[in-house]
Structure 1
């Protein structure tokens, strides 16, 4: 018992250090995308901004595509499943993946920014 008391006293005597703060992305976490063509531009902007603010985490095209896939639901998720199953090269090419999303979900080039 005496040893525990001494240990507690020693621990209490240690200087209090603030917890190391973890970096937090200043951009809001992106909403999911369910395949609604009207929401595709917003989805691409949200996810792009989120990834751009944390370039260390999203350092490769494969990581960027993987992140986009985690934000897909419904029809959009069903669309991407065959690409994942086939291990498509698009999964490692962010610009090409975005182009294929735009094509499939009907983003007209005139609306492109």
Structure 2
């Protein structure tokens, strides 16, 4: 199994909040996203804000995308699985991954996060 798949599975297995960290992110932990188009803008803002204030943890595009994947459920999680299985380059491209999410889940606004 490749390292990205192992990392994704390990992150998915983690509890929602880890007790070993002494620093607490002031942004609320992002809610899960199930593929509901109406909730996509809120999901992108929540996850982006959460990662922005903890830029040491989320220091690369691959870590940002992996975090987004851990917040997916239902149809959204099913959508991303082929990308993980094929080790898609989108897994290391945060903006590209967001653009693909917007395209797939029907967000038609021109705003860019």
Per-residue CA deviations over 1:48-98 (Å, capped at 9, x if unaligned) read: 000001000000000000000000000000000000000000000000000
Moved beyond 6 Å, runs of 4+: none
- Residue 109 of structure 1 and its aligned partner are, at CA, apart by 3.0
Counterpart in the other structure of 2:4: none
Q: TM-score, normalised by structure 2?
A: 0.79
| Residue 71, structure 1, aligned to residue 71, structure 2 | yes
Q: Distance in 2 between matches of 1:38 and 1:91?
A: 24
Q: CA RMSD in A?
A: 1.2
Aligned to 1:34: 34
Higher-helix-fraction structure? 1
**Higher relative contact order structure (alpha carbons within 8 Å, sequence separation ≥ 6):** 2
Q: Which residue of 2 aligns with 1:16?
A: none
Larger Rg: 1
Q: Runs of 5+ in structure 2 lacking a partner?
A: 1-20
What is the number of residues matched between the two proteins? 92
Partners of 2:42 and 2:60 in 1: CA distance: 22
Structure 1 unaligned residues grouped into runs of 5+: 1-20
Aligned equivalents of 1:37, 1:47: Cα separation in 2: 16
Distance 1:27 1:42 in 2: 13
Q: What does residue 91 of structure 1 align with?
A: 91
